[in-house]
Amino acid sequence: MTVLLETKGVSKCYGALRAVEDVSIVIRPEEVVSVVGPNGAGKTTLVNLLTGLLTPTSGEVLFMGDDIAGISPVRLAERGLVRSFQLIQIFPQLTVAETIAAAVVSRQKKRWRLFASLQSDHVIGRRVAEVAEIFGLTHRLAIPAATLSQGEKKLLDVASAFALDPRIILLDEPTSGVSTAEKHGIMRTLIAAGRRAGVQSILLVEHDMDLVAAYSQRIIALLEGRVRADLPPDRFFSDPQLIETVIGKRMSYRC
Protein backbone atom coordinates (compact mmCIF):
# COMPACT_ATOMS: atom_id res chain seq x y z
CA MET A 1 0.00 0.00 0.00
CA THR A 2 1.16 3.55 -0.78
CA VAL A 3 2.88 5.37 2.07
CA LEU A 4 2.14 9.09 2.34
CA LEU A 5 4.22 10.08 5.33
CA GLU A 6 6.74 8.20 7.42
CA THR A 7 9.60 8.53 9.83
CA LYS A 8 12.50 6.11 9.96
CA GLY A 9 14.39 5.96 13.24
CA VAL A 10 13.85 9.64 13.97
CA SER A 11 15.38 11.14 17.10
CA LYS A 12 15.50 14.72 18.34
CA CYS A 13 17.95 15.74 21.06
CA TYR A 14 18.34 18.94 23.01
CA GLY A 15 21.74 18.48 24.58
CA ALA A 16 21.48 15.39 26.77
CA LEU A 17 17.67 15.38 26.55
CA ARG A 18 16.09 13.08 23.95
CA ALA A 19 12.62 14.48 23.24
CA VAL A 20 11.98 11.83 20.57
CA GLU A 21 13.99 8.63 20.26
CA ASP A 22 14.13 6.16 17.35
CA VAL A 23 10.55 6.79 16.21
CA SER A 24 9.37 4.99 13.08
CA ILE A 25 5.76 5.54 11.98
CA VAL A 26 3.86 5.19 8.71
CA ILE A 27 0.76 7.11 7.53
CA ARG A 28 -1.11 5.58 4.57
CA PRO A 29 -4.01 6.84 2.44
CA GLU A 30 -7.56 6.68 3.77
CA GLU A 31 -6.52 6.79 7.42
CA VAL A 32 -7.28 8.92 10.44
CA VAL A 33 -4.34 8.27 12.75
CA SER A 34 -4.32 9.62 16.30
CA VAL A 35 -1.16 10.35 18.27
CA VAL A 36 -1.71 10.09 22.01
CA GLY A 37 0.39 10.16 25.17
CA PRO A 38 0.88 12.07 28.41
CA ASN A 39 2.35 15.55 28.57
CA GLY A 40 6.05 15.39 27.76
CA ALA A 41 5.69 12.19 25.72
CA GLY A 42 7.08 13.83 22.58
CA LYS A 43 3.86 14.44 20.63
CA THR A 44 4.51 18.10 19.84
CA THR A 45 8.15 17.42 18.97
CA LEU A 46 7.08 14.66 16.57
CA VAL A 47 4.54 16.91 14.84
CA ASN A 48 7.12 19.70 14.58
CA LEU A 49 9.53 17.24 12.96
CA LEU A 50 6.86 16.11 10.51
CA THR A 51 5.98 19.67 9.53
CA GLY A 52 9.46 21.11 9.12
CA LEU A 53 9.59 23.27 12.22
CA LEU A 54 12.35 21.05 13.60
CA THR A 55 15.17 19.11 11.95
CA PRO A 56 15.82 15.63 13.37
CA THR A 57 19.09 14.91 15.11
CA SER A 58 19.07 11.55 13.33
CA GLY A 59 16.75 9.52 11.13
CA GLU A 60 14.58 10.35 8.12
CA VAL A 61 11.25 12.09 7.57
CA LEU A 62 9.72 11.14 4.21
CA PHE A 63 6.67 12.52 2.40
CA MET A 64 5.67 10.71 -0.78
CA GLY A 65 9.10 9.08 -0.68
CA ASP A 66 11.05 12.36 -0.54
CA ASP A 67 13.20 13.40 2.40
CA ILE A 68 11.53 16.49 3.89
CA ALA A 69 13.53 16.83 7.10
CA GLY A 70 13.89 20.52 7.94
CA ILE A 71 11.95 21.77 4.90
CA SER A 72 9.95 24.87 5.81
CA PRO A 73 6.20 24.53 6.53
CA VAL A 74 5.47 26.80 3.55
CA ARG A 75 7.31 24.54 1.12
CA LEU A 76 5.70 21.48 2.67
CA ALA A 77 2.26 23.02 2.22
CA GLU A 78 3.05 23.52 -1.46
CA ARG A 79 3.82 19.80 -1.68
CA GLY A 80 0.57 18.85 0.06
CA LEU A 81 1.49 18.40 3.74
CA VAL A 82 -0.35 20.93 5.89
CA ARG A 83 -0.76 21.63 9.59
CA SER A 84 -3.63 23.74 10.88
CA PHE A 85 -2.12 27.12 11.63
CA GLN A 86 -4.73 29.14 13.54
CA LEU A 87 -4.79 32.31 11.44
CA ILE A 88 -7.68 33.55 13.55
CA GLN A 89 -5.26 33.99 16.44
CA ILE A 90 -2.78 35.87 14.26
CA PHE A 91 -5.28 38.09 12.42
CA PRO A 92 -8.46 38.21 14.53
CA GLN A 93 -9.62 41.35 12.75
CA LEU A 94 -10.05 39.55 9.43
CA THR A 95 -13.47 38.38 8.34
CA VAL A 96 -14.15 34.68 7.85
CA ALA A 97 -13.90 35.20 4.08
CA GLU A 98 -10.57 37.02 4.36
CA THR A 99 -9.14 34.36 6.65
CA ILE A 100 -9.93 31.58 4.17
CA ALA A 101 -8.80 33.77 1.27
CA ALA A 102 -5.38 34.24 2.85
CA ALA A 103 -4.83 30.49 2.58
CA VAL A 104 -6.25 30.31 -0.95
CA VAL A 105 -3.93 33.09 -2.11
CA SER A 106 -0.96 31.33 -0.54
CA ARG A 107 -1.87 28.10 -2.33
CA GLN A 108 -2.27 29.82 -5.70
CA LYS A 109 0.92 31.88 -5.23
CA LYS A 110 -0.90 35.05 -6.21
CA ARG A 111 -0.19 38.63 -5.32
CA TRP A 112 -3.30 39.95 -3.66
CA ARG A 113 -4.09 42.88 -1.42
CA LEU A 114 -5.59 41.13 1.60
CA PHE A 115 -8.26 43.69 2.33
CA ALA A 116 -9.35 44.15 -1.28
CA SER A 117 -12.82 43.03 -2.27
CA LEU A 118 -12.98 39.31 -2.97
CA GLN A 119 -15.25 40.18 -5.87
CA SER A 120 -12.21 41.50 -7.73
CA ASP A 121 -10.80 37.99 -8.09
CA HIS A 122 -13.49 35.49 -9.06
CA VAL A 123 -11.20 32.47 -8.76
CA ILE A 124 -10.32 33.30 -5.16
CA GLY A 125 -13.90 34.23 -4.32
CA ARG A 126 -15.24 30.98 -5.76
CA ARG A 127 -12.74 28.87 -3.80
CA VAL A 128 -13.50 30.77 -0.57
CA ALA A 129 -17.20 30.06 -1.09
CA GLU A 130 -16.52 26.36 -1.73
CA VAL A 131 -14.46 25.95 1.44
CA ALA A 132 -16.94 27.91 3.56
CA GLU A 133 -19.80 25.74 2.30
CA ILE A 134 -17.94 22.52 3.16
CA PHE A 135 -17.44 23.70 6.75
CA GLY A 136 -20.89 25.24 7.22
CA LEU A 137 -19.52 28.79 7.42
CA THR A 138 -21.28 30.34 4.43
CA HIS A 139 -23.60 32.45 6.60
CA ARG A 140 -20.60 33.77 8.56
CA LEU A 141 -18.36 34.93 5.69
CA ALA A 142 -18.76 38.67 6.28
CA ILE A 143 -18.26 38.77 10.04
CA PRO A 144 -14.94 39.20 11.90
CA ALA A 145 -13.37 35.86 12.82
CA ALA A 146 -12.88 37.05 16.40
CA THR A 147 -16.66 37.14 16.93
CA LEU A 148 -17.23 33.47 16.08
CA SER A 149 -18.12 30.93 18.73
CA GLN A 150 -15.23 28.76 19.91
CA GLY A 151 -16.51 25.83 17.86
CA GLU A 152 -16.78 27.98 14.74
CA LYS A 153 -13.26 29.33 15.31
CA LYS A 154 -11.97 25.77 15.34
CA LEU A 155 -13.77 25.01 12.10
CA LEU A 156 -12.38 28.17 10.50
CA ASP A 157 -8.87 27.30 11.61
CA VAL A 158 -9.08 23.91 9.94
CA ALA A 159 -10.97 25.31 6.93
CA SER A 160 -8.01 27.61 6.26
CA ALA A 161 -5.70 24.60 6.27
CA PHE A 162 -8.04 22.66 3.98
CA ALA A 163 -8.03 25.61 1.56
CA LEU A 164 -4.39 24.75 0.82
CA ASP A 165 -5.60 21.52 -0.89
CA PRO A 166 -3.46 19.15 1.20
CA ARG A 167 -2.97 15.45 0.64
CA ILE A 168 -2.46 14.99 4.36
CA ILE A 169 -3.35 17.34 7.20
CA LEU A 170 -2.07 17.39 10.77
CA LEU A 171 -4.54 18.58 13.38
CA ASP A 172 -3.25 19.45 16.85
CA GLU A 173 -6.07 19.33 19.41
CA PRO A 174 -8.75 20.56 16.95
CA THR A 175 -11.48 20.51 19.61
CA SER A 176 -9.57 21.97 22.56
CA GLY A 177 -11.54 24.64 24.39
CA VAL A 178 -14.78 23.47 22.78
CA SER A 179 -17.75 22.25 24.80
CA THR A 180 -18.27 18.51 25.06
CA ALA A 181 -21.57 18.85 23.20
CA GLU A 182 -19.80 20.42 20.19
CA LYS A 183 -16.79 18.13 19.94
CA HIS A 184 -18.31 15.24 18.02
CA GLY A 185 -20.10 17.61 15.64
CA ILE A 186 -16.79 19.30 14.85
CA MET A 187 -15.02 15.98 14.31
CA ARG A 188 -17.77 14.69 12.03
CA THR A 189 -17.53 17.91 10.03
CA LEU A 190 -13.75 17.59 9.76
CA ILE A 191 -13.85 13.98 8.61
CA ALA A 192 -16.60 14.66 6.06
CA ALA A 193 -14.85 17.82 4.83
CA GLY A 194 -11.65 15.87 4.37
CA ARG A 195 -13.39 13.37 2.13
CA ARG A 196 -15.06 16.10 0.07
CA ALA A 197 -11.85 18.09 -0.27
CA GLY A 198 -9.79 15.09 -1.40
CA VAL A 199 -7.59 14.93 1.70
CA GLN A 200 -6.08 11.45 1.71
CA SER A 201 -5.23 11.15 5.41
CA ILE A 202 -5.54 13.00 8.71
CA LEU A 203 -3.02 12.86 11.54
CA LEU A 204 -4.67 13.89 14.79
CA VAL A 205 -2.96 14.83 18.05
CA GLU A 206 -5.68 14.48 20.65
CA HIS A 207 -6.14 14.08 24.42
CA ASP A 208 -9.86 13.30 24.32
CA MET A 209 -10.00 9.50 24.27
CA ASP A 210 -13.70 9.46 23.31
CA LEU A 211 -12.79 11.22 20.06
CA VAL A 212 -9.74 9.03 19.53
CA ALA A 213 -11.86 5.89 19.94
CA ALA A 214 -14.64 7.14 17.67
CA TYR A 215 -12.70 8.47 14.69
CA SER A 216 -9.30 6.74 14.45
CA GLN A 217 -8.30 3.85 12.25
CA ARG A 218 -5.01 3.58 14.17
CA ILE A 219 -3.64 4.93 17.42
CA ILE A 220 0.05 5.70 17.90
CA ALA A 221 0.92 6.01 21.59
CA LEU A 222 4.09 7.83 22.63
CA LEU A 223 5.73 7.48 26.01
CA GLU A 224 8.99 9.16 27.00
CA GLY A 225 9.76 9.95 23.36
CA ARG A 226 9.30 6.40 22.07
CA VAL A 227 6.46 4.59 20.29
CA ARG A 228 4.77 2.48 22.96
CA ALA A 229 2.01 1.16 20.68
CA ASP A 230 0.69 1.42 17.11
CA LEU A 231 -2.66 -0.35 17.08
CA PRO A 232 -6.24 -0.20 15.78
CA PRO A 233 -8.70 1.18 18.37
CA ASP A 234 -10.23 -2.17 19.34
CA ARG A 235 -6.84 -3.62 20.29
CA PHE A 236 -5.63 -0.41 21.92
CA PHE A 237 -8.66 -0.01 24.18
CA SER A 238 -8.82 -3.70 25.06
CA ASP A 239 -5.47 -3.44 26.86
CA PRO A 240 -6.07 -1.84 30.29
CA GLN A 241 -2.39 -1.92 31.22
CA LEU A 242 -1.46 -0.09 28.02
CA ILE A 243 -4.11 2.56 28.58
CA GLU A 244 -3.06 3.10 32.18
CA THR A 245 0.59 3.37 31.13
CA VAL A 246 -0.03 5.82 28.29
CA ILE A 247 -3.00 7.82 29.56
CA GLY A 248 -2.32 7.56 33.28
CA LYS A 249 -5.63 6.08 34.40
CA ARG A 250 -7.87 3.12 33.78
CA MET A 251 -10.57 3.56 31.17
CA SER A 252 -13.02 1.40 29.28
CA TYR A 253 -14.39 2.06 25.80
CA ARG A 254 -16.63 0.50 23.26
CA CYS A 255 -15.04 0.65 19.81
| CATH number, position 68 | 3.40.50.300
- Residue 235: closest CA among 217, 247, 223: 217
Shared domain for 111 and 157, answered yes or no, is: yes
Percentage of the chain modeled with pLDDT above 90? 44
- State how many domains the chain has: 2
pLDDT at 86: 52
Shared domain for 3 and 104, answered yes or no, is: no
pLDDT-wise least confident of 40-54, 96-110, 113-127, 213-227: 113-127
For residue 195, is it within any domain? no
pLDDT at 111: 45
Shared domain for 56 and 68, answered yes or no, is: yes
Mean pLDDT of the chain: 85
For residue 174, is it within any domain? yes
For residue 188, is it within any domain? no
Residue 165 or 25, more confident: 25
**pTM of the full predicted structure?**
0.86
pLDDT at 173: 84
pLDDT at 122: 79
For residue 161, is it within any domain? yes
Shared domain for 158 and 177, answered yes or no, is: no
Shared domain for 69 and 176, answered yes or no, is: yes
Domain around 42: 1-80+168-181+201-255
